[in-house]
Chains A and B, each alone.
Chain A
Amino acid sequence: MKTRGSLTEVSTDQEKVTTAAPEVPPSEVSLAPLTQDATDPPARSQWQLFFRRFRRHRLAIASLVLLVVLYVLVSFPHITAPYPLNPKTLSLPRGPTTTHLLGTDDLGRDQTTRMIYAAHLSMTIGLLVAIFSTLIGTFVGAVAGYFGGWIDQLLMRVTDLFLVVPALVVIAVAQQGLDQKKLPIVGKLSSSTLIIGILSILFWMYIARVVRGLFLSLKEKEFIEAARASGASSWRIMFRHILPNTIGPIVVNTTLVVAQAILLESTLSFLGLGIKPPAVSLGSMMSDAEQWVGTHNAYLIYFPGLLLLLIVLAVNFLGDGLRDAFDPQSKH
């Protein structure tokens, strides 16, 4: 019967927020407004339920494990990589052998080694872009959604602007313009720092719009009215009471940004507008390898691409599992 009780709490999520809230002290509402049973510690059960549902999503679990293991492996290339990134001795490309499992590239560099460095850079870029854009986007979206006013106007107008001009175009123009230039304050940026900056600027708007929408609908809810009536300050309401209720969608969208950022970075690098030597990303590896399409050296395209596909696929599966766990209603 215990499990039943806790299940009940979730299914009626939305309504419970509104009906249960007035009796519950505001500070508890923010932790877990979803409980029906007063004897059950609210915060615990909500997360328990989340983990319980998430655990059932085997593919998402496997993806998470894969991503963590992979990221740890590529994070210490001096231990895990079999060869140095840029060896002194150079030779021609050679297919997979026992000494070079994934072969060597046109400068005789071990492809496994390069892929380890590249995957590290690509995954780090994806992660950092997602973190930065989530931090900025959540803050701006919260302010815009809660207060409305000029911030909201500005956010919406800027997003309109980006709707009209394709994202790839904006990034390409920015990258082309800023690369190798001395910028005020920050000075000359490396190609990876620059791409992280540009992608964060692009993706925070996406997060901000999501958060704005959530705040717009949540701020009208009764439990927020109750918190307001009890004299809580606007900032307290925003970050203690509303924000915890938006964690689910934000985390899911952050995951999606990781996937999108990795894909976009690889595309830019492929076009020669992203990561430049000496840094190496999966996209720039494939850019270098484009010349070998149709030859017996085509493995130089296949392997980095497959690794990239694997990473992004895992991130997407993870996002899908998180979405299901946070919001069981949206099954499809």
Chain B
Amino acid sequence: MAQDLKAENPHEVGLPPLDPIRAGEPLLSVRDLRVSFKTDDGILKAVDGVSYDVYPNEVLGIVGESGSGKSVSSLAIMGLLPKSAQVTGEIVFRGQDLLHMDEKDRRKLRGGRLAMVFQDALAALNPVFTVGDQIGEAIAAHQPKMSKQAKRKLTMDLLDLVGIPNPAARVDQYPHEFSGGMRQRAMIAMSIANEPDVLIADEPTTALDVTIQAQVLEVLERIQDRTNSAIVLITHDLGVVAGVADRVLVMYAGRAVETSVVDEIFYHPRHPYTIGLMASLPRLDAAGAREERLYRIKGQPPSLIFLPSGCPFHPRCEFADMPAPCGTIRPDLELVDHTYGRHMVACHRRHDMADVDHSELHADVGAELETVEDAAAVSPAEATALEQLSTPAEEEE
């Protein structure tokens, strides 16, 4: 555990963004965040010491498989975890420590300066209220004095802003009358109703088909231009990050394994896991790529209760090898390069990895092509614990 402390130094982890104009104090700082759940089988560490910063006006992409802790950490920021979750560490938002804040103040932040867009808008919108009603409710929660007419006008403006045609008619429709993409737009409209400083978007495009995905991402970008809010974009899809994010944080088994500006991650990935993710992206530029089978990272995401010793990725790693202590010592984030921005990697073989060309990785390397279902190795206790995440935090009034 002692090694982890190194990562706590904000200057090592909080990477100044590429564009110097955007530099400055971070809006949101997460320090050594840990979230664990008690299960029948033991303690499940959903987030195991994550630190990152979000600066004004940037898009931070957090990438990882399900179970990597990316959603849980954002729920921790929002204070939406169930009571059963043990949260430690520090979450500082505009100078306030969220984890030691009283519930009333925290509620005022939620949906106000700190907002969240959820995946699967059909489930995330209440089926029995109209879309306009739900957006209006979000406005009223933070601007209680606004008149009914003004609220309705603002609601329609928001719908218009996210690109929903004919807002005047749409405002009185129910979520099930919207198409998938429209619902997600409505969801975004709801989250930006109070012009948040930080908008966390948790897999906002996952349930959508590709063309709609692009439109929704475009809406997010447009909103950022308009409102200057910072966006934390959580996704398992590197392709989504590539188009939108300024910086990227790759998470694995509850920890950050690699972080840098987006181009650095894409062109010079150093962590074998990131390299694997890159290699498994379909590539259009590689000649003859159509004949090649897509690369797959072998094995399954680890159990968060019985984490492999050493580097949690080593059982799946192509490069884990002697004499590197991959199987015994868990690596910390270390600075490897700052030519274009700070590039940090948690890998014992980080220096060897600079020479690996990930475009050369193909199906032969990951010889085992068995179907890897997302989170297939999750035990039921874990499943239950993770399921509870959908239960909102229990607050005392």
Contact B41 A4 (CB under 8 A): yes
Residue B214 interfacial (CB < 8 Å): no
In the assembled complex, the Cα of A3 lies from the Cα of B380 at a distance in Å of 11
Contact B41 A3 (CB under 8 A): yes
Contact B381 A7 (CB under 8 A): yes
Contact B380 A11 (CB under 8 A): yes
Q: Which residues of B contact A161 (CB under 8 A)?
A: none
Q: How many A-B residue pairs have CB under 8 A?
A: 22
Contact A11 B306 (CB under 8 A): no
Instruction: Kindly provide the distance from the CB of B380 to the nearest chain A CB, expressed in whole angstroms.
Output: 3
Q: Tally B residues with Cβ within 8 Å of A.
A: 11
The 0/1 profile, CB within 8 Å of B marked 1, for residues 1-45 of chain A is 101100110111000000000000000000000000000000000
Residue B303 interfacial (CB < 8 Å): yes
Instruction: Kindly provide the distance from the CB of B340 to the nearest chain A CB, expressed in whole angstroms.
Output: 43
Instruction: Kindly provide the distance from the CB of B48 to the nearest chain A CB, expressed in whole angstroms.
Output: 19
Instruction: Kindly provide the distance from the CB of B306 to the nearest chain A CB, expressed in whole angstroms.
Output: 7
The 0/1 profile, CB within 8 Å of A marked 1, for residues 242-275 of chain B is 0000000000000000000000000000000000
In the assembled complex, the Cα of A162 lies from the Cα of B303 at a distance in Å of 52
Residue B96 interfacial (CB < 8 Å): no
Contact B306 A8 (CB under 8 A): no
Q: Which residues of B contact A4 (CB under 8 A)?
A: 41, 303, 305-306, 379
Given A3-B41, A4-B41, decide whether A11 and B383 contact each other with a Cβ distance below 8 A: yes
Q: Which residues of B contact A3 (CB under 8 A)?
A: 41
Contact B306 A7 (CB under 8 A): no
Q: Which residues of A contact B306 (CB under 8 A)?
A: 1, 4
Q: Tally A residues with Cβ within 8 Å of B.
A: 9
In the assembled complex, the Cα of A11 lies from the Cα of B382 at a distance in Å of 10
Interface residues of B in 259-304 (CB under 8 A from A): 303
Majority DSSP secondary structure for residues of A touching B: helix
Which residue on chain B has the smallest CB distance to residue A7? Answer: B380
Contact B380 A10 (CB under 8 A): yes
In the assembled complex, the Cα of A329 lies from the Cα of B29 at a distance in Å of 38
Instruction: Kindly provide the distance from the CB of B38 to the nearest chain A CB, expressed in whole angstroms.
Output: 15
In the assembled complex, the Cα of A3 lies from the Cα of B42 at a distance in Å of 12
Q: Which residues of B contact A1 (CB under 8 A)?
A: 306
Q: Which residues of A contact B305 (CB under 8 A)?
A: 4
Instruction: Kindly provide the distance from the CB of A150 to the nearest chain B CB, expressed in whole angstroms.
Output: 37
Instruction: Kindly provide the distance from the CB of B334 to the nearest chain A CB, expressed in whole angstroms.
Output: 32
Which residue on chain A has the smallest CB distance to residue B383? Answer: A11
In the assembled complex, the Cα of A123 lies from the Cα of B291 at a distance in Å of 72
In the assembled complex, the Cα of A92 lies from the Cα of B379 at a distance in Å of 66
In the assembled complex, the Cα of A11 lies from the Cα of B384 at a distance in Å of 9
Instruction: Kindly provide the distance from the CB of A315 to the nearest chain B CB, expressed in whole angstroms.
Output: 28
Interface residues of B in 24-60 (CB under 8 A from A): 40-41
In the assembled complex, the Cα of A10 lies from the Cα of B378 at a distance in Å of 12
In the assembled complex, the Cα of A21 lies from the Cα of B140 at a distance in Å of 52
In the assembled complex, the Cα of A328 lies from the Cα of B303 at a distance in Å of 21
Which residue on chain B has the smallest CB distance to residue A36? Answer: B376
Interface residues of B in 379-397 (CB under 8 A from A): 379-381, 383-384
Instruction: List chain A positions with a Cβ less than 8 A from chain B.
Output: 1, 3-4, 7-8, 10-12, 328
Instruction: List chain B positions with a Cβ less than 8 A from chain A.
Output: 40-41, 303, 305-306, 377, 379-381, 383-384
* Nearest 3 pairs of A and B residues by beta carbon: A11-B380, A7-B380, A4-B379
**Sampled A-B contacts (22; CB under 8 Å):** A1-B306, A3-B41, A4-B41, A4-B303, A4-B305, A4-B306, A4-B379, A7-B40, A7-B41, A7-B379, A7-B380, A7-B381, A8-B377, A8-B379, A8-B380, A10-B380, A11-B379, A11-B380, A11-B383, A11-B384, A12-B380, A328-B380
